[in-house]
Structure formats: C-alpha cells, structure tokens
C-alpha cells in the first residue's frame, strides 16, 4: 500500500511511523510511506498556507491552492483522499479495515481553525476524526489512523491471526492477560489459566470479555 501524508508538520509524523511495526511494514515492502510538507506546494515567495476566514472570526484557515496542487500531483485513479478533522466520521476498526484494502491513501492533515471548505467538497473522499476531542494538529490524528490501517496489511503483524483477536474485531473488548510470575506481591492469577483445560480457559475469557465490555463500553453491547 502507498500512503502519502500531507502536513505542515512532517516531523510530527516521521518518528512514530518509522519505529517498530511501521518500520517493519516499510522494510517488508508492505508500506510505501511518504510524508510531505504542504508548504512545498505554496508557490508564493513566503510559502503562505493560511489566511483569515471570510465572514470574520477567530483564527486562520488553510488555503486551498497548495492542498489542491499537492493532491493533484500525487493522485492516481486508485487514490483515496482523506482529511483528518474533528468534523469527520469517527474512526472505527471497520473503517481501518476498509482502508487497509485500498491501494493508495492520501491523508491531508488539518491545522489552524480549519481548512477551506472547497477542499472538502471537491477533493476529499472522506473526512475522518479519531475521537470526540480536539487536537492541536491533524498530523497526530494521521499517525493514529495510518498505524491502525497499516497493522492490518498482510505480513505486517508477525502472527497473521493476531489482528483477529483484537478488541473490536469480535465486537467485544479483549479478556485480561497475565504473564509470569503467577504470584506477584501476593496477587495470584486466576487458577483457570494454570489448569491446562483449554475449553475452560476459552469460557473464562469469553465471560471476562463480556464483563469488561459491560463495565467499560456498554455501547458495544447495545448494537
Ligand atoms: N484534528 C484535530 N482534532 C482531530 C481529531 N479528533 N481527529 C482528527 N483530526 C483532528
């Protein structure tokens, strides 16, 4: 998969997407990631990328010209253009999975008070929010989105099955996990995990997953 990120802050994206699994995905050829500075497409002398909002109001709005120029120079017939914005559809595992089937993602990071709406109307296929809170910068949201998508690409996770057990893949949160020591500060792990009885362990995990989901995310059980 090819991913182009368009941001005013390339460095915010670079480090988190060049470590661990994201590094491995690139080394394995599963991910061709390019991080671009939108300013490189601002053709005026001072590389201006924002301006005051028409109609008045606080803050600055990202200008359309550099963003159109960037996307038009990068896109092909296979590209899907996304905008990271708190006004977007809320990111879910399903959106991550659908996105992982695309050949080419162009991810635009918003900044300032917003982005000229002609970008949304004429250029963007889908607006994505990573949650109901406001970050200073869409680049942080883009990192979250790209990580969630890339780990689903074939060959990126060591064990092909491990994405299957994820929270949300089953509709429930994951059951608790424990590792050695079996007793720590006097706190013992549940006996069933030492029983060697796989059917009982599976039943315990299912019950714990339900309990955790009920406590932390009752909304997942209501659908
Ligand atoms: N930019 C600022 N806040 C954001 C959010 N919650 N999701 C996506 N992009 C954002």
Residue 64 belongs to domain with CATH number: 3.40.1280.10
Whether 144 and 189 map to the same domain: the answer is: no
* Residue 160 within any structural domain of the chain: no
* Residue 157 within any structural domain of the chain: no
Whether 37 and 143 map to the same domain: the answer is: yes
Task: Answer whether 86 contacts ligand 1 (Cβ < 6 A).
Answer: yes
Whether 200 and 133 map to the same domain: the answer is: no
Burial of 39 (0-12, 13-18, 19+ CB in 10 A): middle
Domain that holds residue 9: 2-150
Of 122, 150, 178, which one is at a domain's C-terminal end?
A: 150
The answer to whether residues 139 and 102 touch, using CB atoms and an 8 Å cutoff, is no
Low-confidence ranges of the chain (pLDDT < 50): none
Whether 135 and 47 map to the same domain: the answer is: yes
Catalytic pick among 37, 40, 98, 113 = 113
Q: Quote the tokens at residue 22.
A: 């994201």
Measured by CA distance, the residue closest to atom 9 of ligand 1 is 85
Whether 68 and 143 map to the same domain: the answer is: yes
Whether 145 and 172 map to the same domain: the answer is: no
Task: Answer whether 100 contacts ligand 1 (Cβ < 6 A).
Answer: no
The answer to whether residues 173 and 206 touch, using CB atoms and an 8 Å cutoff, is no
Whether 139 and 42 map to the same domain: the answer is: yes
Cβ partners under 8 Å of residue 67, min gap 6: 6, 38, 41, 108, 115, 116, 119, 123
* Residue 213 within any structural domain of the chain: yes
Whether 96 and 175 map to the same domain: the answer is: no
Whether 61 and 139 map to the same domain: the answer is: yes
Whether 41 and 111 map to the same domain: the answer is: yes
Whether 144 and 177 map to the same domain: the answer is: no
* Residue 72 within any structural domain of the chain: yes
Whether 20 and 54 map to the same domain: the answer is: yes
Reported as a single tens digit per residue, the pLDDT across 86-143 is 999 999 999 999 999 999 999 999 987 899 999 999 999 999 999 999 999 999 999 9
Q: Is residue 151 flagged as an active site residue?
A: yes
Q: What letter does residue 90 receive in the DSSP assignment?
A: E
Nearest to 48 by CA among 92, 83, 8, 17: 8
* Residue 158 within any structural domain of the chain: no
Task: Answer whether 187 contacts ligand 1 (Cβ < 6 A).
Answer: no
Of 119, 150, 181, which one is at a domain's C-terminal end?
A: 150
**Measured from the CA of 145, which atom of ligand 1 is nearest?**
8
Distance 147 CA to ligand 1 centre (A): 15
Tell the residue number behind the tokens 């030492």, with chain if given.
194
Task: Answer whether 7 contacts ligand 1 (Cβ < 6 A).
Answer: no
Of 120, 150, 180, which one is at a domain's C-terminal end?
A: 150
Give the number of domains in the chain: 2
């Amino acid at each position: 998969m090819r991913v182009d990120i368009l941001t005013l802050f390339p460095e915010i994206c670079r480090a988190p997407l060049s470590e661990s699994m994201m590094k491995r995905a690139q080394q394995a050829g599963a991910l061709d990631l390019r991080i671009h500075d939108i300013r490189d497409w601002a053709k005026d002398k001072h590389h201006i990328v924002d301006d005051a909002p028409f109609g008045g109001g606080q803050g600055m709005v990202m200008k359309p010209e550099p963003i159109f120029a960037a996307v038009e120079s990068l896109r092909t017939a296979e590209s899907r253009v996304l905008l990271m914005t708190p006004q977007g559809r809320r990111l879910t595992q399903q959106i991550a999975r659908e996105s992982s089937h695309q050949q080419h993602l162009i991810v635009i990071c918003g900044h300032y008070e917003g982005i000229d709406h002609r970008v949304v109307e004429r250029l963007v296929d889908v607006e994505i929010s990573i949650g109901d809170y406001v970050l200073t910068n869409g680049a942080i949201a883009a990192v979250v989105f790209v990580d969630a998508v890339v780990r689903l690409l074939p060959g990126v996770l060591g064990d092909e099955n491990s994405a299957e057990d994820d929270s949300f893949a089953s509709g429930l949160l994951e059951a608790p996990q424990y590792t050695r020591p079996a007793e720590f500060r006097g706190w013992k792990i549940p006996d069933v995990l030492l029983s060697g009885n796989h059917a009982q362990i599976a039943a315990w995990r299912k019950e714990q997953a339900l309990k955790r989901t009920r406590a932390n995310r009752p909304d997942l059980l209501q659908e």
